[in-house]
C-alpha cells in the first residue's frame, strides 16, 4: 500500500495502515474521518444507575465537530478501556487518565486498550466425556490453535493461543488463532477439533456440544465421592452399588462410607486397579460412555462373584454413572450371573437425586494476558513501579470494569472471565494480536508517587468535554450482571 495523498497513516498499532477517507484500517477499529484518525467504536462508560438500554453521548476531541452536547453523565460513571484507544507507541500517556472521588478518597483511573501478543484463552468445559488425550493439539479450521491440558474435577480444560501460535507459526495459524480467541472472548461460539479426540463447539456460558451432542450435566463427583454422598440413600434398597467413573469407580460395600454404616460384603470383584478399599482406577479407557469411560455395557468391569464373601442368588445390584444419566439394575440368578431388570421405583429416586445434584454443563472462557510490557509507560514514567503497585494491591486492575485475578510473581499476568465484560469488549490487530481493555485504579497520591503522568489527569467532566487521543463517542451502559 502506498502513501497516497488522500490517505492518512494510523499509528494506533504496529501495522500502521494507510486509511482512505471514510474507510477503516485492517482492524476495523480506527477510521479516516475527513483527514483525521478517529476511533470507530464508542468508549464504554459503565454505570449502576442507567437502564438496560444504555445511551450514546458524543465526546469532544479538540476540533472534532461532534462535540459533547452537555447531556448529563451519571455521577457513578466508570470509564473503561473499551473503545478508548491505545497507548501505542507507548511513549505517550494512556488515552484517558481520569480523576474521581470514591468514598471521599481522591482516586485516579488510567484507561487504555492494550495490544496483547502474549495472551491466551483458558477454557473449562464441564463434562466427564473424554475430549482428547492430555497434550493433544487443538485445531480450528485445520490450524493448530492450542492443546488439551490437565483435567480438573468434573471438567476438561483446554488452552488456546499464546505467542507461539499467534506469531511463531505460519500466517494462517496466527490468523485463525487470533480469530478463534476473539470470537470466544466476545461470547461467540467456536468449533474446535482435538487430535485423537472429539469435535467440540465451545461458547462462554453455554453447554458444550461434543461430537454433535449437547452436554446436559457435569458429574456430581467421582465414583468414590458419589458413594460418600449417597450411600445412606441406598441402604436397605439394594445389596450392592457400583458407581462407574473414568477416574475412580466406587463400590459401596467395600468403601469406607459403606463400612461405617454397616453395609455387608457382596462378594463382588471389579476388574481394575484397586487404589484403596472400594476405590478403583483404570476400569476402562476414557471415552464417551458410562462415566466418561468407553463402557457401553458396565458388566464388562465385573469378574466372577465370590459366594464365600457374600455373593448369593437374589442379590440386588445397581450400577450407575456419576451423572445419573446411565444406570442399570440387576439381580443375581442361581449361577450368580447378573440379570438385568427394571429399576424399582424406590431406587429411581436415588438415581434422580444424583442427577439433581449435578450442575449444568457449561463452558467457561478466561482471557489470560501479560500486561507487563511497554504499555506500562502509558501509565507511569517508571513502569516497574506500576507492576509493584499492582502486585502490592495498591493498584486495582480491571478489564472492561471486570475484576481480574493477577498472578503472583513478576510482571502483570492476569485472568478475567469474558462474561463479566460488556458484549464485544475485545478487538484485534492483524499483527496478529488481541486487544483487551484495561483500567488501573489507585489513590491519586500513589499515582503521583509512582511517576504517573500528572499533566494528563482530568476529571470526568473534563474528559467528556475535551475527549481523548482519538475522537470518538461514549456509550453509557449498565454494569454487566456478575
6-37 pLDDT tens trace:
888 887 777 888 888 888 888 877 888 877 88
Determine the average pLDDT of the residues in 202-225.
95
Determine the average pLDDT of the residues in 211-233.
94
Instruction: Report percent pLDDT > 70 for the chain.
Output: 94
Number of Cβ within 10 Å of residue 124's Cβ equals: 17
Mean of per-residue pLDDT scores for the chain: 90
Predicted confidence (pLDDT) per residue in 259-302, tens digit: 999 999 999 999 999 999 999 999 999 888 999 999 999 999 99
Predicted confidence (pLDDT) per residue in 394-428, tens digit: 999 999 999 999 999 999 999 999 999 998 999 99
Q: Where are the domains of the chain?
A: 223-356
pTM beyond 0.85, yes or no: yes
> Higher pLDDT residue, 197 or 61?
197
Cα–Cα separations (whole angstroms), residue 229 to 325, 345, 391: 17, 20, 40
Determine the average pLDDT of the residues in 102-125.
92
Phi, psi at 456, each rounded to 5°: -100, 0
Question: According to the per-residue pLDDT averaged within each range, which of 287-296, 306-315, 426-435 is highest?
Answer: 306-315
Confidence check: pLDDT of 256 > 60? yes
Amino acid at each position: 500500500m502506498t502513501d497516497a495523498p488522500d490517505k492518512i497513516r494510523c499509528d494506533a498499532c504496529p501495522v500502521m495502515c494507510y486509511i482512505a477517507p471514510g474507510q477503516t484500517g485492517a482492524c476495523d477499529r480506527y477510521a479516516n474521518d475527513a483527514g483525521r484518525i478517529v476511533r470507530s467504536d464508542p468508549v464504554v462508560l459503565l454505570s449502576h444507575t442507567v437502564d438496560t438500554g444504555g445511551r450514546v453521548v458524543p465526546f469532544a476531541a479538540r476540533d472534532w465537530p461532534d462535540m459533547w452536547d452537555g447531556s448529563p453523565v451519571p455521577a457513578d460513571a466508570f470509564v473503561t478501556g473499551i473503545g478508548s484507544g491505545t497507548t501505542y507507541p507507548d511513549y505517550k500517556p494512556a488515552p484517558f487518565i481520569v480523576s474521581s472521588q470514591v468514598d471521599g478518597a481522591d482516586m485516579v483511573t488510567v484507561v487504555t486498550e492494550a495490544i496483547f501478543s502474549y495472551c491466551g484463552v483458558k477454557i473449562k468445559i464441564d463434562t466427564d466425556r473424554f475430549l482428547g488425550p492430555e497434550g493433544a493439539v487443538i485445531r480450528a479450521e485445520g490450524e493448530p490453535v492450542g492443546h488439551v491440558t490437565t483435567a480438573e474435577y468434573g471438567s476438561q480444560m483446554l488452552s488456546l493461543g499464546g505467542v507461539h501460535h499467534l506469531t511463531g507459526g505460519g500466517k494462517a495459524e496466527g490468523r485463525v488463532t487470533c480469530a478463534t480467541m476473539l470470537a470466544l472472548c466476545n461470547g461467540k461460539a467456536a468449533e474446535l477439533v482435538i487430535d485423537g479426540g472429539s469435535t467440540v463447539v465451545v461458547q462462554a456460558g453455554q453447554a458444550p456440544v461434543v461430537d454433535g451432542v449437547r452436554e446436559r450435566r457435569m458429574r456430581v463427583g467421582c465414583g468414590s465421592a458419589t458413594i460418600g454422598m449417597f450411600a445412606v440413600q441406598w441402604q436397605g434398597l439394594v445389596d450392592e452399588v457400583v458407581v462407574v467413573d473414568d477416574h475412580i469407580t466406587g463400590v459401596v460395600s467395600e468403601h469406607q462410607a459403606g463400612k461405617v454404616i454397616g453395609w455387608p460384603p457382596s462378594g463382588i470383584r471389579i476388574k481394575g486397579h484397586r487404589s484403596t478399599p472400594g476405590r478403583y482406577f483404570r476400569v476402562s479407557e476414557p471415552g464417551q460412555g458410562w462415566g466418561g469411560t468407553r463402557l457401553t455395557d458396565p458388566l464388562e468391569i465385573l469378574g466372577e462373584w465370590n459366594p464365600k464373601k457374600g455373593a448369593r442368588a437374589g442379590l440386588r445390584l445397581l450400577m450407575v454413572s456419576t451423572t445419573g444419566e446411565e444406570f442399570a439394575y440387576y439381580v443375581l440368578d442361581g449361577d450368580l450371573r447378573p440379570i438385568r431388570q427394571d429399576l424399582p421405583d424406590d431406587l429411581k429416586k436415588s438415581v434422580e437425586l444424583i442427577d439433581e445434584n449435578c450442575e449444568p454443563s457449561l463452558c467457561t472462557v478466561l482471557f489470560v494476558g501479560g500486561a507487563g510490557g511497554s504499555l506500562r509507560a502509558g501509565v507511569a514514567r517508571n513502569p516497574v513501579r506500576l507492576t509493584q503497585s499492582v502486585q502490592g494491591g495498591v493498584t486495582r486492575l480491571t478489564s472492561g470494569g471486570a475484576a481480574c485475578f493477577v498472578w503472583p510473581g513478576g510482571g502483570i499476568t492476569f485472568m478475567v472471565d469474558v462474561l463479566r465484560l460488556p458484549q464485544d469488549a475485545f478487538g484485534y490487530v492483524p499483527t496478529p494480536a488481541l486487544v483487551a481493555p484495561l483500567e488501573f485504579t489507585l489513590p491519586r497520591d500513589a499515582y503521583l508517587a509512582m511517576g504517573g503522568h500528572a499533566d494528563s489527569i482530568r476529571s470526568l467532566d473534563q474528559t467528556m468535554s475535551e475527549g481523548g487521543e482519538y475522537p470518538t463517542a461514549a456509550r453509557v451502559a449498565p454494569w454487566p450482571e456478575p
